[in-house]
Amino acid sequence: MKKNSGTKKLVVSLFIISTIAVFVAYIYYSSQNALNDPRIVPAKEKLLQYDRMMSELKYEEVFPLLDTVEKMIASISGYENSFELGVVYNNRGSSYLTLSINENDSLSKFKLLDLAEKNIQKSITIYQNWIDSTKDYKEEDFLKLISPIMSKDKALQNVKNLDDIIDNYVSERMLAKIETPRRLSVAYTNLGIITRHKFLQEESLECYRKALELWPDNHTARNNLNMLLDKPLEERSIIDQLFPKDRTKPDNQQEEAFE
């Protein structure tokens, strides 16, 4: 199935932008919060630096940065198995994917696609495990889990508003229960693009369908699916752009801007 190469690159570029937007939204708004866990702030700041590097097309420079962020997050008690590591792996996979799109040598391109797929698969595993392990959690469950961990952490011993920081951590986890399925949807969309460039169309179709099951409003997944099915691409209405859905509500509880 032949496609216009310019269209392919445009769609992938738009997807990379949307990937960063979805994942960095959480990081950006959390970083502005004075109640943010001070142990995780440096890692979030570096992820904002990753966003800037990507926008400046400094693709090769992001890998050492992401390696550092991964080590930082993995070393913080209470975050070892959390969804934040999925963000790191998805960003790394997105970076390899971006490099592969711009690679003309076929052998090098497929090596980059393999690296992209390995990292995206890891992000999918992390997201899915976190979703499964916290699906029945309520605020009191997160509080019971994290309160003794933070209270005993030497890095937080002299923090005066520790109770407020713990409460904010719990609030972030509750919001993450809504947002992480969308992150997982974006990761599946990424995997769909990778498999499409490997000429594995059936696998690619399945990835896009999984992405839309997780997040029906995933516009990028829908248009990539349309592309494979030879359907016209859909444009987002001005209403959708001006009145985006409430990110704090599950997708099955969203209200329409207009009837």
Q: What is the pLDDT of residue 211?
A: 96
Q: For the segment 76-135, what is each residue's pLDDT rounded down to a tens digit?
A: 999 988 999 999 999 999 999 999 988 999 999 999 999 999 999 999 999 999 999 999
Separation between Cα atoms, residue 54 and residue 214, nearest integer Å: 26
Cut 0.85: pTM above it: no
Residue 159: inside a domain: yes
The burial of 192, by beta-carbon neighbours within 10 Å (0-12 exposed, 13-18 middle, 19 or more buried), is given as buried
Q: For the segment 9-53, what is each residue's pLDDT rounded down to a tens digit?
A: 555 555 555 555 555 555 544 444 678 899 999 999 999 999 999
Q: What is the pLDDT of residue 26?
A: 54
136 lies in which domain range? 5-238+245-253
Residue 206: inside a domain: yes
Q: What is the pLDDT of residue 229?
A: 85
Residue 259: inside a domain: no
Q: What is the pLDDT of residue 227?
A: 86
Separation between Cα atoms, residue 182 and residue 204, nearest integer Å: 18
Of 60, 68, 59, which Cα lies nearest the Cα of 88?
Answer: 68
Our count of domains for the chain comes to 1
Residue 103: inside a domain: yes
Residue 89: inside a domain: yes
Average pLDDT over all residues of the chain: 84
Residue 86: inside a domain: yes
Q: What is the pLDDT of residue 250?
A: 62
The pLDDT-based confidence of 230 (bands split at 50, 70, 90) is confident
Query: Hey, is 151 helix, strand or coil?
Result: helix
Residue 258: inside a domain: no
More confident residue, 110 or 235: 110
Residue 10: inside a domain: yes
